[in-house]
Amino acid sequence: MLHNFYKKYLDSEFFRNIFTLSSGSIIAQFIPILIMPILTRLFSVETFGVYFIYSSVFAVLVIISTLRIELAILIPDSHKEAINLLAVSLIIAFLFSLLCLVIIIFFKENIIAFLNIEDIGNWLYFIPLSVFLIGSFQSFTYWSNRFKNYKTITISRINKSVVAGSGQILTGFSPLKNIGLIPGLIIGQFTSFISIIFRNIQSFKEFINNISIKNMLSVLKRFKDIPLFNTLIGLINTLSIQLPFFLMPRFFGTKVVGYYGLSYRIISAPVTHIGYSIGQVSFQRSSELLNTGKELLPLVKKNYWTAFKLAFVPYLLLFLFAPFIFKIFGKEWVTAGEYTQILVPFLFLNFLNSTNSFIVTLLNKQKMVIIYDILLLIFRFLSIYAGYVLYGDAKMAIILFSITGVFFHCLFFVIIISFARKSSFIKAY
């Protein structure tokens, strides 16, 4: 029986690649969770609130930073085209980060007043740096994925977690404790950026002579739908996910952001890392399947089933016992556990869909999904706003936010299955 299991799963290249990415991702995510009980005793809930607001701002900006060009790196057969896509994405990330810095220099006070985030202070100036580091890291991640260098991606993520976590703990125990959690985060981002560049130098050197303005313009023309539509889709989708971090400081205060942020960080970890890893490997394999005229539906079904088996028990335990579990972070964090129970149904479905969301890009269906994402953003805003206006209660706002997420993720599941069924009749780029 164990022999059959090994032959079916562990001896499969597809599952080995998923294991390589997801195991490293689990380690990378486990490190911050492991040290979180230490950090929650070193820093206040409000400090965490500032940290989560900072993270949310650059998370939204990162989507625009490369115009999502990195998504196309896996698609072309030619490495010549792929290296030009990588070059374009890096150039755009650098220019966009400079633009962000200029805007912050001239409009810092206006931004702080509009978002009601006075506590973030001068850390706003570091957001362009984070945007560039993460945008570039994502581009090199897709380049690594193209060559199936999953160990490179894994090691870089682990480096980020180890360095960021160590820096935050040292800050908490030092006289510089009042600077908070953000410096450790930035150092971790820089470390992962250097790590993934260093591990891609050889493959980059091999094709660097193919980079030219002519070739970059050529790939931009060929994959124009990605910056035109995926950037908008990604921006709307990320903004709707990060919406609570922008609205809650204004409606309910920074402390609520701290509770919600810790809850979301813990419960969305599988989405961010394991689901992303399955999607990354599947994206690469689906490109091969589509280019050879094979159907995608069996792979999509396998992804959903794999994700369900991985996530059902952990999410069920969180749903039942989250307030008790969150006591390990300190008694004042029980509220975060209550928020977690509310978010579990929504984020469980989000995890399942995260393994197959690449289908939209692969099949060039961005136009069809824009309406879905716009409606999702609108209803998420209305859910939080209704919680504030009608109830004046943060918990009620989160309940409405979660209900909205459940409905739309069920709808997205139907959309993905529909696309996969028709994949044999659809041409990729």
Tell me the chain's radius of gyration from C-alpha atoms. Answer: 21
* Residue (of 242, 357, 374) closest to 307 by Cα position: 357
* Residue (of 191, 337, 195, 355) closest to 273 by Cα position: 355
For 61-105, write each residue's pLDDT tens digit: 998 898 888 888 888 878 888 899 999 999 999 999 999 999 999
Measured between alpha carbons, how far is 194 from 187 in angstroms, rounded to an integer?
Answer: 11
Give the residue ranges of the chain where pLDDT is below 70. 1-26, 269-277, 279-282, 284, 287-293, 422-429
For 253-283, write each residue's pLDDT tens digit: 889 999 999 998 888 765 566 666 676 666 7
Measured between alpha carbons, how far is 157 from 100 in angstroms, rounded to an integer?
Answer: 25
Measured between alpha carbons, how far is 60 from 58 in angstroms, rounded to an integer?
Answer: 5
Angle at 342 between CA 336 and CA 344, to 5 degrees: 100
pLDDT score at 397: 95
Cβ neighbour number for residue 381 with a 10 Å cutoff: 17
Measured between alpha carbons, how far is 32 from 15 in angstroms, rounded to an integer?
Answer: 26
For 320-354, write each residue's pLDDT tens digit: 999 999 999 988 899 999 999 999 999 899 888 88
Check if the beta carbon of residue 320 is closer than 8 Å to that of residue 337. Answer: no
The tokens describing 24, both together, are 């490293």
* Residue (of 173, 200, 168, 162) closest to 54 by Cα position: 168
